[in-house]
Amino acid sequence: MRVEVDHVSHVYPGPSPRRVLDDVTVELTQRRVGVIGANGSGKSTFLRLMNGLIVPDAGHVRVDGLDTAKDAREVRRRVGFCFTDPDNQIIMPTVAEDVAFGLRKAKLPKDEVAGRVDVLLRRFGLEGHAEHPAHLLSGGQKQLLALASVLITEPDLLIMDEPTTLLDLRNAAEIGRVVGELDQSVLLATHHLYLLESFDRVLVFDGGRIVADDAPGPAIAFYRELMGVA
Partner 1 sequence: MNTGTLGLYRPGTSPLHRARAGTKLLGLAALGLGSVFLTTWQTVTAALALVVALYAVAGLPPRTMLRQVRPMLFIVVFVAVFHVWTAGWVRAYEVLGVILLLVLAAALVTLTTPVSAMVDAVVAAAGGLRRFGVDPERLGLILMLGIRCVPLMSTLVAEVREAQSARGTRSLRAFAVPLIVRALREADAMGEALVARGVDD
Query: Binding pattern to partner 1, positions 93-112, x when CB under 8 A?
Result: xx--x--xxx-xx-------
Q: Applying CB under 8 A, which of residues 18, 25, 58, 91 lies at the interface with partner 1?
A: 91
In contact, 199 and 193? CB cutoff 8 Å:
no
Name residues contacting partner 1, limited to 4-63 (CB under 8 A). Answer: 51, 53
Nearest Cα residue to 204 out of 6, 10, 24: 24
Q: Which is nearer to partner 1, 105 or 170 (CB)?
A: 105
In contact, 1 and 185? CB cutoff 8 Å:
yes
In contact, 148 and 112? CB cutoff 8 Å:
no
Choices 25-33, 131-139, 169-177, 207-215; region in contact with partner 1 by CB under 8 A: 131-139
Q: Which is nearer to partner 1, 113 or 202 (CB)?
A: 113
189 scored as a contact of partner 1 (CB under 8 A): no
**CA 42 – CA 20 distance, rounded (Å):** 5
133 scored as a contact of partner 1 (CB under 8 A): yes
User: Where does residue 9 rank: exposed (0-12), middle (13-18), buried (19+ CB within 10 A)?
Assistant: middle
**CA 230 – CA 226 distance, rounded (Å):** 8
What residues line the site for partner 1 (CB under 8 A)?
51, 53, 73, 76-77, 80-81, 83, 85, 87-94, 97, 100-102, 104-105, 131, 133, 135-136, 149-150, 153
